Structure 1
Amino acid sequence: MAQSRSDADRLFIAGAGIGGLTTALALSRRARPVTVFEQAATIEPVGSGLQLSPNAMHVLRGLGLEEALRRHAVAPRAVRVMSARTGNAIAEIPLGEHAEQRYGAPYLVIHRADLHSVLLNAARASAGITLRLGTRLRDASQNAGAVKVELEQAATDGGAAHVDHGSGAGLIGADGVWSTVRRRVMNLRQAVFSGRTAYRAVIPAEDVPQHWRDVTGLWLGANAHVVHYPVSGGRQFNLVALVSEDWREERWSAPADREALLARFADWPAACRDLLARPPSWLKWALCGMDPGTDWVDGRVALMGDAAHAMLPFAAQGAGMSIEDGEALARAIDRIPDVPRALRSYQAERQNRAEKVLRLARANDRVYHMRGPMALARDAVMRGLPAGRLLARLDWLYGWRPPAAG
């Protein structure tokens, strides 16, 4: 049977996370049929907080999602940088109305599950998006005219899984750090453990002192730092403690030993220790990353988000880069009829910027975790700079927006 034009144009996206759904929505708004398949049988509200800086919000606004997101998000007034040595404030970097006026879009903090829910609801409402849960990619191949995927659909009654095949114009690997598309289809090296671990918890905001509920807190210490901010429309409070340590467990995410975590911060200021003691339990994630310079595209197959450029969270741009990728990828495919050429154009546009952010995150890792005289010098520089100058140093990052149509 001849393949329909719709099927021939269809793009497959592996992974229904933030990057995959953003890409699907951006493609569907350009009338491109999309099938998104996700290994998880159900989409559960998981994760903790994340930051949506103006560069990401420009994309989400263009997808018509800003109003829905604002119902769940908080626009922090500032980033308050604290010293883990003295307990005193080092600097306060303005956000809120200042950032929105400067960059033309808000700087928001939000629970990952809330962002994901907004994206998922929009995808389910789109006639151009087919969403297949409980479906994993077994294999894929390509020729000059098409990409072919082999998909395994889990049985809902406990029986044998169903395997089927599909053909379309391209395959996008949006399947995260442990990407099957990256490993099996493109035969590329996976991300590696960075020597850093993130401990995460979310608690009711009413359990936190009032003066922390409208800012992002950033505590800088030797070989560790702590970040916290309100999420869920201000109803909850997100806490993240990032430390240097070896990972000796078989899983890459796991329940954390609360007492061991608190002992790790025993010599930190009382105000920070008080916050860390409030969650009754913690989860931890091994932080993994990739080196710059890896190819993202092979013919009709492309990587995006963490599958392409997994980075440390020390620039708060993991979600933002995935969201930017999705918009750029859809725009390239809409502009260039030949899919392999379009994917190459997408990589050419995105790779230098994503890898610049990756390097920024690595640099922040060093700066945040300084000790001794280096830490004293860092703090003195930050105190001496006007608050607006500290923000302006990131104009290249936060000031990005998609090119105007035309």
Structure 2
Amino acid sequence: MAAPQQQRTSPCPLEIIIIGAGLSGLSAAISCALAGHSVLVLEGARELAEIGAGLQITPNASLIFQHFGIYETLAPKAAEPGFLVVRRYSDGKLLSKTDDFNGDMRRKYGAPFWDLHRVDVQRALADRAKELGVKLQLGAKVADLNFDKPSVTLASGEMLHADLVVAGDGLWSKCRERYLASKGAEDQPLPTGDLAYRIVLKLDEVDDTELQAWIAMPSCTFWIGPGSHVVAYSLRDGHMFNIVLLVPDDLPSDVARQPGSLDEMRALFSAWDPILNRFLDQVKSVDKWKLMHRPELASWVTEKFAFLGDACHPMLPYLAQGANSSIEDGAVLGNILSAVENKGQLAEALRLYERLRKTRGEAIVRETFAQRRDFHMPDGPEQMQRDELMLSKLGKEIDCKFPSRWQCPEVQPWLYGYDAWKEAEKALRESPLKTTTL
């Protein structure tokens, strides 16, 4: 296991403002504080709300938790899937299974695959950031930005100055809006054509003993079908169960989220696996979330400003990399900034961060759309060919490009084997920041 990083003393401590206390912003706050910089996080909400659902934290992010020093905090709250299966939607027929999935992850990547509640992750990140001296200002709504100074003007009228401003304010980023406006451009989140029903069940509220046993023994299950798929996994060491139903979007164009109808949800899945329907019978309420994406940005950085997370590369949830990639962004940014010896190197450091992160982030975005295609095939010849390939590897080593990227020997190592620390260190060895002065 990787050792927690010790906080450094920077030869050139920067004043950094991070906008957004989500996973990307808090990860950047921790890594920049570890690098010896002074960090202020601005969050528009008046409190870090106790809301959210499950996160699948893959080894590329749980490795970062080791470096951040929050691994031991989160371990008791995690559920580690003993196996991963892919099933056909209609009858639950087993198409693929990886036994000892948790052991496989640890052996291959030196870090676990964890299913965690978003609240637990956000709280652990926020607490660690504060331990490292990060200031967190809640109720701080951003009204304007100056990208050259740089500075942030809050809705209260307060103006804050910094050496660097980092935008981690999510899909509906106000920073992105103002950045594009400064260039005479604009964009809006685009509908993907899908929506998600998000469900969390508590073990002690489920009245079916077989389902209770399923929840208590953590695993990860996919059901794949025409135009839709479902993923289900345990949380909090088998005391909660997270279900996400991905279906065609029928929300009005101006609605991003609204309460869902239980009858409508059950009708959509009435012809699906009976065991899935037994889980859905336990649901008391559900919300519908429109799944959105954004066009690619030409650049993620200026000389004194940087984007990270959903503000620059929002992702469909089909590879569970939205959170993991955002955590990677924050870790890499801080690691690159640890090498800054004078402020004249900042612009070069940000360009190096962008070079490391932009290509990967946007490639993952494209791969999520490819996973949707392979999981959402309509019944027919192509679907039958997909199922035959998966069945041909059942109980055997998967040695080919595989429709489930969660198990694919080409895609999985690329996603899960990424080491943010090593990537940053390698880049700095190959492209050391030049000693320049302002």
TM-score (norm 1): 0.91
Residue 277 of structure 1 corresponds to 281
Structure with higher strand content: 1
Aligned equivalent of 1:97, options 88, 103, 121: 103
Within 5 Å, give how 1:289-300 maps onto structure 2: 289-292=293-296, 294-300=298-304
Matched, 1:169 2:163: yes
The Cα of 1:185 is off from its aligned counterpart by: 2.9
The Cα of 1:108 is off from its aligned counterpart by: 0.4
The Cα of 1:375 is off from its aligned counterpart by: 1.6
Residue 159 of structure 1 corresponds to none
Matched, 1:113 2:119: yes
2: CA distance between counterparts of 1:87 and 1:321? Answer: 31
Deviation per CA, 1:12-31: give whole Å up to 9, x if none: 11100111001000010111
Unaligned runs of 5+ in 1: 153-161
Contact 2:43 2:140 in 1 (8 A): yes
2: CA distance between counterparts of 1:175 and 1:91? Answer: 38
2: CA distance between counterparts of 1:269 and 1:366? Answer: 21
**Counterpart code for 2:159:** H
Aligned equivalent of 2:409, options 388, 392, 399: 392
Residue 71 of structure 1 corresponds to 76
Contact 1:195 1:247 in 2 (8 A): no
1: CA distance between counterparts of 2:232 and 2:107? Answer: 24
Contact 2:218 2:237 in 1 (8 A): no
Within 5 Å, give how 1:28-47 maps onto structure 2: 28-47=33-52
Contact 1:219 1:227 in 2 (8 A): yes
**Counterpart code for 1:115:** V
Within 5 Å, give how 1:157-306 maps onto structure 2: 162-187=156-181, 188-206=186-204, 207=206, 208-211=211-214, 213-248=217-252, 250-292=254-296, 294-306=298-310
Residue range with higher mean Cα deviation, 328-337 or 245-254 = 245-254
2: CA distance between counterparts of 1:249 and 1:44? Answer: 27
Matched, 1:345 2:362: no
Structure 1 stretches of 4+ moved >4 Å: 5-8
The Cα of 1:292 is off from its aligned counterpart by: 3.8
Contact 2:335 2:421 in 1 (8 A): no
The Cα of 1:138 is off from its aligned counterpart by: 0.8
1: CA distance between counterparts of 2:220 and 2:338? Answer: 38
TM-score (norm 2): 0.85
The Cα of 1:402 is off from its aligned counterpart by: 2.4
**Counterpart code for 1:354:** G
Alignment length, in residue pairs?
390
Unaligned runs of 5+ in 2: 1-9, 400-406, 430-438
Q: CA RMSD for the aligned pairs?
A: 1.9
The Cα of 1:387 is off from its aligned counterpart by: 4.8
The Cα of 1:379 is off from its aligned counterpart by: 1.3
Residue 155 of structure 1 corresponds to none
User: 3-state DSSP class of the match of 2:48?
Assistant: coil
1: CA distance between counterparts of 2:378 and 2:203? Answer: 31
2: CA distance between counterparts of 1:141 and 1:269? Answer: 54
The Cα of 1:186 is off from its aligned counterpart by: 3.6
